Structures are given as structure tokens and as C-alpha cells.
Amino acid sequence: MAASEQPVAIITGGGTGVGRDTSLQLARRGYHIILNYSRSKQEAEQTADEITTIGRSTGSQALCLQADVADDQDCRQLIDAALNRHGRLDVLVNCAGTTQFIPFERMEEVSAETWERLFRVNVTGAFQCARAAAPALRKSDNGQIINISSVAAQLGQGSSIPYCCTKAALDNLTVSLARTLAPEIRVNGIAPGFIAGRWTEKGLGVSYDQVCKAYEQSLPLRKVCQPADIAEAIVSLITGSRLVTGQTLTVDAGMMIAGYQVSYDDALQQTNAADPANRR
């Protein structure tokens, strides 16, 4: 098929949270969007409907595709489906991720399965998507990969020790891929701070509001990240200077310079004490 005249972006985890807002913001800039989801089919379809509405003025189209990024064959089929639909690929945003909320001192609760699952999705999945996408991205005049990391990689603070380790590994993957895929493809990352929304609300349970308020009081900018804030940063890398590669941009309202002031562990202790069902 003839390649689309409009740029094409694949957003893994594109139906919810940061992925959803990134999809909408790129659609407003005229990108065709491939929305990947693993389990959130309904949310992905709702996001696609919003893109269809946006597309009345921008020409953007949306395609929802189920794929488990931990499965290499799924990753390859995801890329193939995008090329079959539009004949080109310009941007890959590795936004799919997972975690398990486990207080750091409860090391006995961290299983081998937890380590394997988090690494397969957060690190191996990003690599597999990048590898599958690279041949098509090389043909773009501005091929890019954006990996969504976390300040947890540097602070060693977050939902669990395995999660922090996977994000540190993802930062290394960003640099490794940037060297490997240059000069045709630029690879960068985004490291959000605490993001308000369904993911953290589910993980923190009854402590969610308390943790949000504590972060708002302790952070230099006195606010926590919203998914749209992170999406804006992603778009800024995509549309900004073509001389930026191998970098991970921190978007955290000043969390990194404020230091370790709010503890997930304390919040999780309170949540688990209040509701044992939150232990998982």
C-alpha cells in the first residue's frame, strides 16, 4: 500500500493514563495513532473514539490493537499491523508498564515471578517493540523511540524494589538503543515523578489522597504530575530539537531536587493495615 502522508505513532499502553493523553495530543498534531492495549480494551476503544472526533479536523485515524509486549511475536505483529494500515511508522512510545506495590522492607513478599513479570513487561517489552519497529523507523525522516521510565530509577523510591530496578534498566536501554540505532533513529526517555491517577490510586488504596497531599506539600512546585503533563513532555521530545538522543528527561515537579521526603512504604503500611485486601 502507499504510505500515508501523515506521520504514524504506536503508543503501547495507549488507552489509559499517560498513553491515552499522549495519543490524544499527537492526534491533535495530525498523527495517525496505533493504540496498543493488553487488557484495557474498553478504555482503548474510548480513546480511539476521541481520536476519531479529533480527526475530523486533523485527519488523524486510530487503530486499537491488543498485544502483550512481553511476547516478542505480539510485538512484531503490532508493528506489522501498523505498516499494513498506514505503510509507515515514525514514532514508538513505550508506555506499557506494570508494577506490584510491595513495601521495601517486606522483601520476603517479593517473588521470583514478580521480578520476571516486571522485567518482561517494563524492560524486555520495550526492547522487543524497539527491535521490531527499527526497520520501519529507519525509513522515517524523523524516526523516534520514547521510553517511559520513572524517577524511581534514581531515587530508589516507589512501588517496589523490582519496579525501581526495572526503570533503572530501562534508562540504560535508552542509552544503549540511542547508540545502536543512530543516526537514523533517536531514542529518549521520560522519567515522571508521582503521577496522580487510577494506577497509583489502585496501588495505594486508602492512602492515595494522603500521599497526593503529602507530595503536593513537599515538592518545590507544590503539585503532583498529571498524565497530561507527562504527555506534553513526550510530545516536546518528538517535536523538538533533532539533536537530542540518549537522554531521559525528568518531569517531576522538583521531586529529584527535593530528595526523599514522602515514603510510599509508610503509605502502603497504612493501606495494608486498614484493608488487608490490598496486600498482593
Catalytic amino acids? 163
Please tell me what DSSP assigns to residue 2: P
Cell, residue 273: 493495615
Instruction: Report the relative pairing of strands 91-94 and 32-37 from DSSP bridges.
Output: unpaired
Please tell me what DSSP assigns to residue 191: E
Q: Please name the residues in contact with 183: beta carbons below 8 A apart, sequence gap of 6 or more.
A: none
User: In Å, how far are 5, 8, 154, 190, 246 from 59, measured between CA atoms?
Assistant: 10, 12, 40, 28, 32
Query: In angstroms, how far is the first alpha carbon of the chain from the final one?
Result: 48
Query: Distance between CA atoms of 118 and 113, rounded to whole angstroms?
Result: 8
Q: At what angle do helices 161-181 and 125-137 cross, to 10 degrees?
A: 20
Cell, residue 184: 537514523
Q: Please name the residues in contact with 53: beta carbons below 8 A apart, sequence gap of 6 or more.
A: none
Query: Distance between CA atoms of 164 and 147, rounded to whole angstroms?
Result: 15
Half-sphere exposure of 169 (CA within 13 A, CB side): 17
Q: What is the 3-state secondary structure (H, E, C) of 79-136?
A: HHHHHHHHCCCCEEEECCCCCCCCCCCCHHHCCHHHHHHHHHHHHHHHHHHHHHHHHH
